[in-house]
Structures are given as structure tokens and as C-alpha cells.
Amino acid sequence: MGKSVAYSELSAQVEPSLPKVGPEEILHGELEDTIRDMRKAELRQSGAASSTITKAVSNTISALKAFRTANGLRLYDTVGGEMMEPVRFARACEAIYNLDLSDKTVERHISEMNKRVRPWAITLRKQQLTHCETLSEALQELLRMSGFSIAELARRSKVTRETLGTWVRGKEVPSTPSTIQDIGNVEVEMGVPAGTLSKFCEIKKIYIRSDRLKIDIRPDDLKRVRQYIPDDFEHLSKAKQQEIYDWVMSNIVLSPTDDEGEHVGSREPYRCKLRTQWLHVDTPGTFKAPDRLRRQVEGLVAFKTAELTPLGKNRDPNKGRWSSEESKDSKLILLEIFFGALRKKGTKEENLGLENVLDLEKIDSFIDYMRKRRGLYTETITAVLMSLAGHVNPENGYITQHRKEISSGRRMMTEDAWREKCIAASDFIWSRWRQIQPLLDVGRDPFLPIRGVVDTRKPLHTYYVIADEIRRRTPLAAANILQRARCFRDLVMFRYAGQFALRAGNFSQLQVLPKGAPKTSMTKLRRSRSLELWWDPKAKVWMHRQPKESFKNHSSPATKDIEIPLADIDGLYRELEEYLELRPLLLDGHSDPGNLFMADMTRGGSNRTTLTPGAFTQIWKNMIRRYGIYNPYTGHGAIAGLRVHPPHAARHILATHIIRVDGSFAKAAAAIFDTESVTTKRYAEFSAVHQYELARDVILSDPPVSQISARVT
């Protein structure tokens, strides 16, 4: 026989006309190399002498070469049924008798093929079952290798024949805890690594009903916790059910607060819903704004979002326009808080209106409610007061300039009386704002939800484990392709935030262009304040393109037009491109808005495919709830102690990572597109920790040691 050819040299033998084998298939040349290595390892482990190893390996490889020669196989042929299927393998071995070899040599070769070569080939093939796309294909492959019938494998694995048959024929896949255990038994019996078959399965969440529980949970609250409680929740004791429910509500569903000890207060919902995207959401404790108030606010929004100041009116030249969805939402939230507090203090819904801002008693009622609710004066109170003061600004406030629209249907004041009321309200609000400043307490630590991440030495590395949790829980396409698409949306969204410090408004406006499409001009992006992900065919990279005007702090010198490559770290491009392939599934037949992240239309509800900043924030928070927060009762989640947080918290993680690793506030500021002075003020505590850690490293790197050989005990 000719000299053995190593697998690495096979490319020279492959004929151009031959089809390329898939990455999961085994070539005979590759099998020969693997068998040689496995035989050497086996003999070395047994302590065999070097000469013995050489001879034994030669015998094994000679048997494999004789097998190939007898069956007309080449090094670049794929290992197939002649090796894997018992009956075909037996016939292929008998063909060795046709070679010009003694019967003794043939019998030795056949013995070696049965004892070592085929079992090792099967082991290698089992480890590479990833070429199978469905559970049915994988099971059929294993049955061919083993020679088992369905009935025999069912008996050995303690699975019913009917159940195994439906899996083999592809009519069903395991989807309950008991059938997942059954498929695990099949894996053990067939000698394949754990997860080889179960990866094709997806457990269907058991639908838990409130009327079957031992504790009282409102249907609305059960809906909020259902996906975070264990499947056997209904069968647990009353005390255990209460324990799990309380933990899930406090640690996963609700946002964290620092209201402990003396700062307890009331936490019930209270807001007046003004934002259109939330009007259909039935949140207990909140209420929809009455029609009159809603019409007034619509007029306010039209005035504040118009590109040009309406004729005959004035606006603050610097901050008078709400230039993005994010800024509009943030301002409306402040009004929701104000009117929600007034209703809690006894104002009837029909009496709620923008004219309430002129009532000094109502301003004090708002302050009193918020202080008692939180048990302290917080920055939320002062933020609302500043916003209200802007609306009654004597020169350019909306309320000041729209007496007729706001007083419609009510007792009409004269223009002079209205203006005097606005001036008095403005003076009073600013007076209260100044009085509250020295009394302010920090009601919420901005780092509290991510404290367990930012307090580590490498926050970005700690946070990144969420990506692995998403990957682990992403089903194969054959098991649930729609859920796979949702998982990839979450994964790409999370990883994108790990490179670019974007806010929810930026994420909701991020467009993706198909490969080959020309990039949009930066001028057009500036006008629309949108961002773009574009494939650069020359550099072969995805480019993140963002105009200065799209930044929240676009007036800051820290921002400018940017065009930066999205780094292909840890397979990001592969994951991004799979997401782009799966993305149409989430549109469910609706027209494509072109946004990289858009609404999941398969869940019904709104026909709007694009996301508002608020809707994107909810998607982000749900991703953190599902994959980020470690849940000891289900074993899901990546980080113990993490709490639900919005997407801009990823900015904190980027900044603190740079400060803790490098100590540079300038670099941290550049990463989050902010000024160094603001960054230094916000993240100063992490620099102190960084310096302490460096100092401690110096001490511990060369500690003093005893110079005497014996110590007094």
C-alpha cells in the first residue's frame, strides 16, 4: 500500500469536480488521523513501550487502509454507511478477503476494524451530530449507527415505543419535563454527549391559573409573574408559593428602589396616562387622562414639537422644542406624575387640566403627595416643578400664550389676569424649587440595579455573561424558529449596546440597510435624526453611522457625526446576520420599516411595526428580566443580584469598565459621548475604588516576609 497521507494534505488530492463536504461530515483521511491519535493515546495510557506503540498503531492503520482499498474508498471520500451501518459494515469487511492477503492477516484486519476502528468512528460521528437539523434526523442517524430498531431502543431507554416512534418520524418533539427526561435517557443509552438530542426540544411553559393556587393573586399580577415562576408552582405549599411570588415581584417584575428603613412610603401606581402608546395598557392604579386634558396636552405637544415656532408665539431658543420622541416622552412623563398626584389628592378627573398649574394650592398638594409617597423629597419633585415652570414662563410658556385653548368651556379670564396668574405661578414654583434643593435626598441610587456589575473589576466582562445565557436558551430552528428569532433580536440588541452607548430613542431609530445598498447621506440622517447600520463592501465591515443631531446632548462639544465600524467580536457578525435572516418572521407579513429592532408582530395587538423609545425600553427590560436576573427558583438568569434596568444603564457599565480598568475619565467620556467634566462628576466613586485597587495590588505584589526560619508559637 502507498504512503499514508495526512488530512492536512488532502486538499492537494481533491479533484475540482468533487462536491465540497459539509463542515460536520468526516472524511476517511480525517478518520485515519483521528484513529492514529486515539490508538497512541490508548497505548500510552496503558504504559506500553515505544516500540510496542509503533507496531500496534501500524496494525490498526493497516487494517483501515485495507478496508478502504477493498471498498474503493479514497482519503477525501466521506465516511458513510459502509462504516456506520452494521449490515453494510459487515459486507465491507468481507471484501477485504478479495485482497491479496493471507487469511490470518485478513482476520486480524477485520478484528481490528470491529474492535477499535468502527467504535471510534461511531464515537466521532456522534460527537458531530450537529449536521442534523431536526430531532428526527438525529434519531434516524443514531438508529442506523447502532442497528437498533425503534422497539429495541425504546426498551433500552425505558421510553414507550409509540412515543419514540413519533419522534423518529418527526411528528412530535419532547416538550414537557417528563419527555425531556426521556430524551435524556436515549442520549445516555446511545452514548452521545448530554444535549445532543435535547437541544432540539423546547419545554412548553405550563399555564398556571390563579384559581388553582393556594395564595390569592390577582389575574393581572399572575400574568406579570407567570413566566418567572417554576412549573411546579401549583403543587408547592402555600408558604412556598408566597415566598416565590414575593421574591419574583420584588426582584424581577418591579424596578428597584432605595426606600428602606425610614424611607418607606407608598409604592402603589398613581400616574395619569397621557402617552398614546400606553393608553391601551391596563395597569392597576393608573388611569387614562380625561378627554379635555388629553386635548390640551395634544395642543402642547404640537406646539413643542413643531419644527418652526408657530406664528405669533414664542419658544425658548435653546430648549423650547422637543426634538425627539425620547424628549417628548420624558416631558409627558412629568405631566403624568403631576396629574396623577393631583387625582390622588382629591381633584376630580373632570377638573384636571393645564390650568391646574396656575393653582398654587395644587402645586403644594402635588409636593405633599410626592413627599409622603416616598417619605422624602426627591429629584422627581424638582424635575416636575422645573417642567411646570417652563410651561408658565412669562415670555415663552405654552400655558402663558394659550389662554383661550386652555380656558375653553370655563370662565374666561382677561389676558392681563391670565398673565398675572402665570407670573405668580412661575414665581411660586421656582420659590418652592429653591426651598426643596437643600432638603433633597437621593431617592434612587442610579447604579442600584447594576451595582453587582459596576462594583466588579471588569464590569463589561461581568455583564457579558447575559449574552451566553441568551445563547444557551435559544432553541434550534427546528424546535421553535419564531422563538429563535426573538432570542436573536435580544442577543443582537444586548451586544450592540455593549459597543455603543445608545439611548432608547437612538435604538428605536436605528435603521439597517441590506448588503449592497448605498449608504444614506449624513445630511439626510441629520434631518431625520436617525441612525444607520450600513455594510461597507470595501472594508467588509458593518458601519454604525450616527449624526450629531441624534444625540440627546447634541449641543454638547462631546458629540459629532460618527461613522465607526461595529467590531466583529466573539462572532457578532455571524449572530447579526442570522438575526437579519430571521427578522422577517417577527414582522409576520407586515411591511418592513427598515429598523434593526422593531416590534414583534406575531404577538398581535398594535399594527405599528416601529418602536417608540418607551416600547424599546420595555423590550430591553423584559430581556433583562428573562436572561439577566438570576432566579434561584428556576435556575434561569445570568447574574445574581442584578435588577431590572433601562438600556441607558449599559452606558454606566461601559463608562465604569473603562474607569476601573484604565482609570481614564477622558476615555470613559468619549465612549458615552459626554464631556469629561460631567463624566468625572457622575462616576467619581469608581475612580477612587480603581486607585485603591491599584494601591492594594502594589502592596500585595511584594509583601514583606519573615526573615527567620522558626517562629514563636
pLDDT band at 34 (very low <50, low <70, confident <90, very high): confident
Under CATH, which number does the domain 448-695 receive?
Answer: 1.10.443.10
Q: What is the pLDDT of residue 293?
A: 92
CA angle 244, 249, 251 (to 5 degrees): 90
Which has more confidence, 501 or 417?
417
Range scoring the smallest mean pLDDT among 100-114, 275-289, 496-510, 513-527: 275-289
What proportion of the chain, given as a percentage, has pLDDT over 70? 86
Residue 464 has pLDDT above 90, yes or no: yes
pLDDT per residue over 140-172, tens digit each? 888 887 778 899 999 988 899 998 998 998 888
Q: What is the pLDDT of residue 3?
A: 34
* Average pLDDT score over residue span 354-380: 90
Which range, of 325-339, 384-398, 440-454, averages the lowest pLDDT? 440-454
Q: Is the dihedral of CA 125, 127, 130, 134 positive or negative?
A: positive
Cβ atoms of residues 314 and 396 within 8 Å: yes
Parallel/antiparallel/unpaired status of strands 287-288 and 272-273: parallel
DSSP state string for 423-448:
HHHHHHHHHHHHHHGGG---SS-TTG
Reported confidence tier of residue 605, pLDDT bands at 50, 70, 90: low
pLDDT at position 264 is 41
Q: Which residue has the higher pLDDT, 191 or 435?
A: 435
Burial annotation 260-281 (CB, 10 A radius, 16+ → b, else e): eeeeebeeeebbbbbbebbeee
Q: Does the pLDDT of residue 8 top 50, yes or no?
A: no
User: pLDDT of 253-275, one tens digit each?
Assistant: 887 753 433 334 455 667 888 87
Determine which of 147-156, 276-285, 415-424 has the lowest per-residue pLDDT on average. Answer: 276-285
pLDDT of residue 354: 94
Segments of 88-171 assigned E as strands: none
CB within 8 Å of 12: residues ≥ 6 apart? none
Per-residue pLDDT at 470: 95
Least confident of 181-190, 285-294, 552-561, 633-642: 552-561
Question: Could you tell me the three cell numbers for 639?
Answer: 447574574
Span of 73-77, 425-429, 437-441, 567-571 with lowest mean pLDDT: 437-441
Q: What is the per-residue pLDDT across 101-117, written as a single tens digit (0 to 9) for each? A: 998 999 999 999 999 89
pLDDT for residue 629: 95
| Residue 615: predicted pLDDT | 87
pLDDT attached to residue 277: 58
Q: Is the pLDDT of residue 557 over 80?
A: no
Is 544 or 77 the better-scoring residue by pLDDT? 544
Per-residue pLDDT band at 44 (split at 50, 70, 90): confident
Summarised one tens digit per residue, pLDDT across range 424-441 is: 999 999 999 999 988 876
| Strands in 410-507 per DSSP E | none
Least reliable range by pLDDT among 73-77, 646-650, 702-706: 702-706
Highest averaged pLDDT of the listed ranges 11-25, 315-329, 572-586, 593-607: 572-586
pLDDT at res. 130: 61
Q: Flag whether pLDDT at 362 surpasses 80.
A: yes
Lowest mean pLDDT among 28-37, 206-215, 304-313, 416-425: 206-215
Q: Which residues pair with 639 in a beta bridge?
A: 629
Pairing outcome for strands 531-536 and 541-546: antiparallel
CB 134 within 8 A of CB 440: no
Give the pLDDT band (50/70/90) at residue 284.
Answer: low
Residue 335 has pLDDT above 50, yes or no: yes
SS3 of 30-72: HHHHHHHHHHHHHHHHCCCCHHHHHHHHHHHHHHHHHHHHHCC
**Which of 86-95, 482-491, 549-558, 664-673 is predicted least confidently?**
549-558
What mean pLDDT comes out for the span 569-575?
93
pLDDT at residue 228 is higher than 80:
yes
Higher pLDDT, 556 or 568: 568
Residue 5 scores a pLDDT above 50: no
- Domains of the chain, by residue range, sit at 7-129, 132-200, 210-253, 272-439, 448-695
The CATH classification of domain 132-200, taken from the options 3.40.50.720, 3.40.50.2300, 3.40.920.10, 1.10.260.40:
1.10.260.40
Q: Is the dihedral of CA 631, 632, 636, 641 positive or negative?
A: positive
The chain-wide mean pLDDT, for the chain, equals 83
Number of CB atoms found within 10 A of residue 542's CB: 20
Q: What pTM did the predictor assign?
A: 0.64
The closest of 398, 429, 411 to 296, measured between CA atoms, is 398
Q: Which H or E element spans position 531?
A: strand 531-536
